[in-house]
Structure 1
Amino acid sequence: MTSPRRTFAIISHPDAGKTTLTEKLLVAGGAIHLAGEVKARGANRRARSDWMKIEQQRGISVTSSVMTFERAFDDLGVITFNLLDTPGHEDFSEDTYRTLTAVDSAVMVIDAARGIEAQTRKLFEVCRLRSVPIITFVNKVDREGRPVFELLDEIADMLALDVAPMSWPIGMGGEFEGVLDLETGGVSRPEGDSRNFQGKVDTDVTLPERFAEEVELAQAGYAEFDAEAYRNGDLTPVYFGSALKDFGVAELIDALARHAPAPRPQPAEPAPIAPEADEVTGFVFKVQANMDPNHRDRIAFMRLCSGTFKRGMKLTPTGHGKPIAVHSPILFFAQNREVADEAFPGDIIGIPNHGTLRVGDTLSERADIRFTGLPNFAPEILRRVALKDPTKTKQLRKALDDMAEEGVTQVFYPEIGSNWIVGVVGQLQLEVLISRLEAEYKVAAGLEPAPFDTARWVTGDAGDLKAFADLNRGAMAKDRDGNPVFLAKSAWEIGYVADRYPKVRFNATRER
């Protein structure tokens, strides 16, 4: 029997309409009655899935949100959707990567006018690294934009996948100048019918000859949809629509219910874990502090991989050896929560804790399983943290450790010198760091240039590592977990030092 769970991420470059689409999916699923982007005013206009202060100020998503909703289908029954809304900015691609470890499929949102952008390509590459099957949703087709065929070819070239157009924008044909161009007599439909074209041209729709030719050309020139090819990552179905105008959203939900994979086996040691296994297992892919600043809370997001979880169960985190009782597991809708009495493979639950659980932890009824594939990545920007009030040193360390666990930044404690160093992939992460230090921890701090450009985790035999560290103390540091790190002035220096110390390994990633 196929699981009624569909766990998927929504990914896109900024301003493609990802958060609006997220809200419309929630409206269509009955999780909310209004989409904040459309009808709310004032403070309520902020996107429901963007809860952090800097997100509301900048109008972008910089952290992943988890939302669960249900929808009933006549032939499928009730399907539970676990939707993970990811950061759109490329500076947060590491957070997106970790989120993709917890899903079985992804919806890539593309702006019809802007098409494929550099950061879109990076997000697609992240999907491909995780072997996550992709549904492409071309948004904002109610606006003037790129020619249809040009955009479809671009998607196919970027993904190196077959492309199967599953719907068709109606209006000025391939020019994206309107969805339902009824005023010009371009399309005739039964009253109230605003569906996209699905597959073949509907028999109850009368099309001008030039529109019909374009639809037939697309059907002939691109692959037909093949569910197995899509689930294997060899094909992407493409849906056209407008999240803002509620066009194509219902078709997208239907596609996720019918075609997106149910929970899949997850990579683990000593062997992959199948969702049908009886033992309850899961892994923490995200930790978020201060979602509710009034309570200074700390939530670990766990993807349930196998078994039936019951509220109050005792699970053992990796490496702890001591079971913890999960008394208050949470299901999420952005900042709104409800206690979950049970959960099934594919579900995402939040576990309140006080520092016990960290990103990468496996939780299981026994302690002999470890899920894999959640790495840290070497930072591309390093900065020193300058504390403006020296009495806040303790608060600063806690804040930096918290945000290192969340993946907002990485923190390095040099062997020589008192200035702690933070590492990030992109500049925007530094802005988030300073904003959250002040807003959530009441710590005023600044950032100064560091004498280093990047970092590498060093591994090897204990003797070789000690000899290397003793000779390079000025460039050695420890990360949040106490692992030795070499701080380099440039990529060239890394290569030079690696050649001099062949028995030491310089790693750009580290398994969490």
Structure 2
Amino acid sequence: MNTLNLGILAHVDAGKTSLTERLLHTAGVIDEIGSVDDGNTQTDSLALERQRGITIKSAVVSFAVDDVTVNLIDTPGHPDFIAEVERVLSVLDGAVLVVSAVEGVQAQTRVLMRTLRRLRIPTLVFVNKIDRRGAAYEPVLRALAEKLTPAIVPMGRASGLGTRVSAFRPYGPGDAAFTERLADVIADHDDAFLAAYVDEEAPISYGRLRDGLAAQVRRGLVHPVYFGSAVDGVGVDALTAGIRELLPPAGGDPEGPVAGTVFKVERGPAGEKIAYVRLFSGTVRVRDLLRFGRPGGRAGGAADEEGKVTAISVFEQGAAERRDEVVAGRIGKLWGLGEVRIGDAVGEPDGDPGGDPGPGHFFAPPALESVVVPTRPADKGALHVALGQLAEQDPLINLRQDDVRQEVLVSLYGEVQKEVIQATLADDFGIDVAFRETTTVCVERPLATGEAVEIKGKDINPFLATIGLRVDPAPVDSGVEFRLEIELGSLPFSFIRAIEETVHDTLRQGLYGWQVTDCVVTLTRSGYSPRQSHAHAVFDKSMSSTSGDFRNLTPLVLVAALRESGCGVYEPMHRFELEIPADAFGAVLPVLTSLGAVPYAPETRGAVCLVSGAIPAARVHELERRLPTLTHGEGVLECAFDHYRPVQGAIPVRSRADHNPLDRKEYLLKVVRRAGGSR
């Protein structure tokens, strides 16, 4: 059988999980359809998901459509859990984007579709809830074309909207308007088809039109649209046929080198790690010794961990079944990889996955941060362990340990995520916690080129190492790159690796305490003392350089280079789109200005005013809070991260959580004491 790894994505409450239940029921996997409200669905298995009626963690189930096994991945819709969606995108062959026929295109819908199109993931659109009061057909199609993409093709006609007798009739070869629309959309992206369409005297066959549609859907160029109701099953058969006919099956050579990616990690009943792996190439068997690590290596080399696979489960007919192997194209649960992390590449680094298997970063990083404090001081140690396990499942929680204040900070997307972490710690670990005030996470960027060097043997340098570093600004969103300008072979690789790892660690806290990004750090000079010993004695580290010398010296050199370059501090900005009554504009505008927003020219459409612009991420919650009063409950706000801008006014400083290389004397006292004394 062929395999299709399918994602279900949507804005919160559009009906993703209900659609998943209906697809499983239609395929005969479950006898009864669960309800999100009743907390008995297949994919919302966490107690907290059942209590809140929202999806928090991605979940995998499977069903068969003719000769295709569909691994269906249900993802969260709430923007606070966008990190779960990000990890899933790297393993998909296709997607279904669910839109509510009542609410229409919403903020998260636009963010998701923009990303799906950029990644060229073949996507079908399912407009759900046509049985609900307020459901619309033509207005939703217009919104899809205007706000998502003009390359949509309605695959049928909805009727009886807003009633119990709502229906969806798929179009066929006899629907002239449909076949004409198909031909026009296909011709927009296919010159050969356009020439045939214009020149041929006989009409193009319906079969050729459907083949052309499938080809362009699989290239991510065109998006068929289906209407229906997941609760009543309306339109689901047509959607299922579209999944089977239009979306591409998984590729990959089972006989090729093993290559895959880990997109989810969970803990079993005994605390063991279970890795969810999408395999792009090769076959993994029980008792195989499997390599894994960061794509390209955690420090610039190859994958640097190994583990023996002790058990495998593969998804079949709704559940994960134990198997002896998992082959290319499939999703498997692997036991035995004790050090595995989300985002790890598995197998040979030179294996061809048929594309980039790495998860990448498709959405903005968390813009908020808060200190987590245990209610009982005795729980400090247990809290750190528990947060570490949560960070394994969600790396963007991004734990930051402040050793000076003995505090733990977590990165957040929003207040709902904070509440979920708090409830999870209480329910799963028995730890009651409180959060301090949420603050905005800024970034630093170098403003110019800066260089520094510390030479071995000089009085100011207590380490047996010579390091020269240059920091150069890099394009926005390029991250951090480490380069070598020293002669190859002039420094042992273990020392180069120590410098590179420490550079990345040090850049987590720049001159003002924020993470430094968008720069190139170049190793320009190096020197070391070769391994030596006194006569007839063992190795003497007081005479020989060690990796510790380079790890301890690198922060001093790097911050000196940063000081010379100078760093600007940038705050996250969200792009907002606001739909308000036209007569409320006069009240809303001064509030936007007071919140630091930069509104663009408004657009008036009858009694409605559309305002867009940029607003500091830190002020979005305040705007959401005040909007209902300002607009008599009629304002609609859409927000999404857009860019970082230079901080206006006083530069915010983040407290340091390390040995503070900005203060050389303090740093050396702490580092030498930690190392057990000076040389």
TM-score, normalization by structure 2: 0.58
Indicate the residue corresponding to 2:9 in structure 1.
11
Q: Does residue 1:309 correspond to 2:284, yes or no?
A: yes
Counterpart CA distance in 2 for 1:424 and 1:470 is: 17
Structure 2 stretches lacking a partner, 5+ long? 186-208, 298-302, 445-478, 484-498, 517-550, 560-566, 574-615, 617-643, 648-679
Counterpart check, 1:327 vs 2:310: yes
Higher alpha-carbon Rg = 2
Matches within 5 A, 1:385-404: 385-404=372-391
Say if 2:100 is the partner of 1:106: no
- The letter of the residue matching 1:363 is V
Match of 1:247 in 2: 234
Alignment-mate amino acid for residue 261 of structure 2: F
Q: Does residue 298 in structure 1 map to residue 273 in structure 2?
A: yes
Structure 2 CA distance for partners of 1:130 and 1:395, relative to 1, 3 Å: farther
Q: Partners of 1:61 and 1:468 in 2: how far apart?
A: 36
Any idea what SS the aligned residue of 1:169 has? strand
Residue 630 of structure 2 is matched in structure 1 by none
Given that 2:372 and 2:434 are in contact with CA atoms closer than 8 Å, whether structure 1 keeps it comes out as yes
Q: 1: distance between equivalents of 2:419 and 2:250?
A: 36
Matched residue, 2:145: 156
How far apart are the structure 1 equivalents of 2:54 and 2:319? 20
Change (3 A) 1:33 1:373: same
**Equivalent residue number for residue 257 of structure 2:** 279
Aligned to 1:507: none
Question: Structure 1 pair 373/19, CA: closer, same or farther in 2 (3 Å)?
Answer: closer
User: 3-state SS of the aligned residue for 2:124?
Assistant: strand
Q: Does 1 or 2 have the higher relative contact order (CA < 8 Å, sep 6+)?
A: 1
Q: Does 1:67 align with 2:61?
A: yes
* Bigger mean CA deviation after superposition, 373-382 or 239-248: 373-382
Matched, 1:197 2:197: no
Give the secondary structure class of the aligned counterpart of 1:25: helix
3-state SS of 2:224 partner = strand
> Map of 1:160-179 to 2, 5 A cutoff?
160-171=149-160, 176-178=161-163
Q: Is the 8 A contact 2:58 2:84 kept in 1?
A: yes
Corresponding residue number in structure 2 for 1:207: none
**Pairing 1:375-386 to 2, within 5 Å after superposition:** 375=361, 377-386=364-373
Q: Which position in structure 2 is the counterpart of 1:258?
A: 245
Residue 129 (structure 1) aligned to one of 112, 118, 132? 118
Is the 2:314–2:326 contact (alpha carbons within 8 Å) kept by the matching residues of 1? no
CA contact (8 A) 2:4 2:249 kept: yes
Q: How big is the shift at 1:308? A: 3.0
- SS at 2:264 equivalent: strand
TM superposition shift of 1:277 = 5.9
Task: Describe the SS at the equivalent of 2:265.
Answer: strand
Structure 1 counterpart of 2:436, from 438, 441, 448? 448
Q: RMSD of the alignment, in Å?
A: 3.7
Identify which of 392, 396, 399 aligns with 1:411.
399
Report the more deviating stretch, 406-415 or 482-491.
482-491
Give the whole-Å Cα distance in 2 for the aligned partners of 1:436 and 1:470.
27
Unaligned 5+ runs, structure 1:
73-77, 182-193, 202-214, 265-273, 498-512
Shift of 1:118: 1.2
- 1:475 matched to 2:448? The reply is no
> Which AA in structure 2 matches 1:23?
E
Matches within 5 A, 1:428-443: 428-443=416-431
CA distance in 1, matches of 2:108, 2:350: 39
1:83-127: CA deviation from partner (whole Å, max 9, x where unpaired): 000001111112101111111110011111111111211121232
Match of residue 333 from structure 2: 350
Shift in Å, 1:495 = 6.1
Bigger mean CA offset, 307-316 vs 457-466: 457-466
Aligned partners of 1:251 and 1:487: how far apart in 2? Answer: 54
Q: Is the 1:141–1:179 contact (alpha carbons within 8 Å) kept by the matching residues of 2?
A: no
Contact 1:19 1:49 in 2 (8 A): yes
Q: How does 1:49-68 map to 2 (within 5 A)?
A: 49-68=43-62
Task: Decide whether aligned partners of structure 1 residues 262 and 27 sit closer, same or farther in structure 2, where only a CA change above 3 A counts.
Answer: same
Query: Aligned to 2:73, which of 84, 95, 100?
Result: 84
Question: How does the TM-score come out when normalised to structure 1?
Answer: 0.76
Deviation string for 1:187-212 (max 9, x for gaps)? Answer: xxxxxxx87323345xxxxxxxxxxx
Instruction: Give the AA of the match of 2:411.
Output: G
Aligned length: 441
- Structure 2 vs 1, CA of residues 379 and 197 (structure 1 numbering), >3 Å: closer, same or farther? closer
- Alignment partner of 2:84: what SS? helix
Q: Secondary structure of 1:383's partner?
A: strand
**Separation (CA, whole Å) in 2 of partners of 1:133 and 1:467:** 38
